[in-house]
Amino acid sequence: MNKEKLQHHLKHLQERHTLLEKKINDGYSHYLDDMHLGKIKHEKLGLKRDIENTKKKLAEYDEA
């Protein structure tokens, strides 16, 4: 993947992460069940890992 695609992918991941954060906050406000909130949090954690991995890949492009 080239640097531009990685940057676009990172932006997309960050947007999804932000949406999940909002969903979690709304879920607490609207008393969603714990299982549903747990699934959203798990997905958010996975996105966080993907964001960090993508940032590392971008850093490698900057070092090259």
Q: What is the pLDDT of residues 2-39, one digit of tens each?
A: 889 999 999 999 999 999 999 888 877 877 788 888 89
Domain around 28: 3-63
| Structure tokens belonging to residue 54 | 């993508």
If pLDDT is split at 50, 70 and 90, which confidence band does 52 have?
A: very high
Provide the number of structural domains found in the chain. 1
Report the C-alpha dihedral over residues 34, 40, 25, 52, rounded to 10 degrees: 140
pTM of the predicted protein model: 0.83
Per-residue model confidence (pLDDT) at position 48: 97
